[in-house]
Amino acid sequence: MDSISSNIKRVIKSNTIFLVLIAVMLLFQVFIVATDNGSLFAPSNITNIIKQNSYVVILATGMLLCILTGGNIDLSVGSIVCLVGAIAGTLIVNWHLNIYLSIFLCLIVGILIGAWHGLWIAFIHIPPFIVTLAGMLLWRGIALIILNGLTISPMPDSYLRLFNSSIPAISDEAFDAMGFEAAQSRIYLVTMIIAALCCIALIAVEIAKRGSRIKKGYEVESKAMFVGKLVVLSAIILLIANLLGNDSGLPVILVLMAVIVAIYGYYTQNTVPGRYLYALGGNAKAAKLSGVNTDRVMFFAYTNMGFLSAVAALVCIARFNSAAPTAGTNYEMDAISSCFIGGASAYGGTGTVSGAVIGAVFMGVLNNGMSILGVDSNWQRAVKGLVLLLAVLFDVMSKRKKSGK
pLDDT digits over 298-323, tens only?
999 999 999 999 999 999 999 999 99
Please say if the pLDDT value at position 292 is more than 60. Answer: yes
Q: Provide the pLDDT for residue 378.
A: 87
Q: What is the dihedral angle through the alpha carbons of 348, 354, 358, 360, rounded to the nearest 10 degrees?
A: 70
Q: What pLDDT does residue 259 have?
A: 95
E strand segments, 229-352: 250-251
What is the torsional sign of CA 61, 65, 68, 74? negative
When pLDDT is cut at 50, 70 and 90, the band that residue 30 belongs to is: very high
Contact 314, 88 (CB under 8 A): yes
Instruction: Give me the helix-helix angle, 43-52 and 223-245, nearest 10°.
Output: 100
- Spatial CA neighbour of 309 closest among 65, 146, 76, 66: 76
Q: What percent of the chain has pLDDT over 90?
A: 64
At 280 the pLDDT is 94
Distance, in Å, from the CA atom of 356 to the CA atom of 403, rounded to the nearest integer, reads: 25
pLDDT at position 122 is 96
- State residue 389's pLDDT score: 84
- Give the distance, in angstroms, between the CA of residue 349 and the centroid of all CA atoms in the same chain: 19
Least confident among 16-25, 113-122, 319-328, 360-369: 16-25
Whether the pLDDT of residue 90 is over 80: the answer is: yes
pLDDT tens digits for range 101-112 = 999 999 999 999
Q: What is the pLDDT of residue 17?
A: 82
Average pLDDT, the chain: 90
Q: What is the pLDDT of residue 184?
A: 84
Residue 275 has pLDDT above 70, yes or no: yes
* Predicted local distance difference test score (pLDDT) of residue 225: 81
Average pLDDT rounded to a whole number, residues 89-105: 96
What average pLDDT does this structure show over 192-210?
93
Exposure string of 87-106, with b = 16+ CB inside 10 Å and e = fewer, is bbbbbbbeeeeebeebbebb
- pLDDT interval class at 262 (50, 70, 90): very high
pLDDT confidence band for 171 (50 / 70 / 90): low
How far is 187 from 248, CA to CA, in rounded Å?
7
Asked if residue 280 lies in contact with residue 297, where contact means CB atoms within 8 angstroms, the answer is yes
pLDDT above 90 for 235: yes
* Residue 296 neighbours by CB under 8 Å, 6+ apart: 122
405 pLDDT higher than 60: no
SS3 250: strand
Q: How far is CA 63 from CA 67, 197, 210, 342, 399, in A?
A: 6, 30, 29, 12, 22
At 226 the pLDDT is: 85
Residue 66 · residue 305 · CB < 8 Å: yes
The Cα 78–Cα 264 span in angstroms is 21
- Answer yes or no: are the C-beta atoms of 46 and 320 closer than 8 Å: no
Q: How far apart are CA 371 and CA 21, in angstroms?
A: 17
The reported pLDDT for the residue numbered 169 is: 76
The DSSP letter of residue 322 is S
Binning pLDDT at 50, 70 and 90, where does residue 195 land? Answer: very high
Q: What is the pLDDT of residue 182?
A: 81
Which residues neighbour 336 within 8 Å (Cβ) at sequence distance 6 or greater?
Answer: 63, 67, 73
Q: What mean pLDDT comes out for the span 257-281?
A: 94
CB-based contact 79:139 (threshold 8 Å): yes
Residue 391 has pLDDT above 90, yes or no: no
Distance CA 157, CA 160 (A): 5
CA 258 to each of CA 43, 265, 317, 353: distance values in angstroms, whole numbers, following the listed order: 19, 10, 20, 11
Q: Residue 176 pLDDT > 70, yes or no?
A: no
- φ/ψ of residue 251, rounded to 5: -65, 135
**Do the Cβ atoms of 76 and 312 come closer than 8 Å?**
no
The pLDDT of residue 261 is: 95
What average pLDDT score do residues 73-81 get?
Answer: 97
pLDDT at 144: 96
- The distance from CA 99 to its chain's CA centroid, rounded to whole angstroms, is 25
384 vs 104: CA distance, rounded Å: 35
pLDDT in tens, 237-261: 999 999 999 988 899 999 999 999 9
Give pTM, 2 decimals. 0.93
CB 92 within 8 A of CB 102: yes
What span, in angstroms and rounded, lies between the C-alpha atoms of 327 and 198? Answer: 34
> Do the Cβ atoms of 323 and 89 come closer than 8 Å?
yes
DSSP letter, residue 71: S
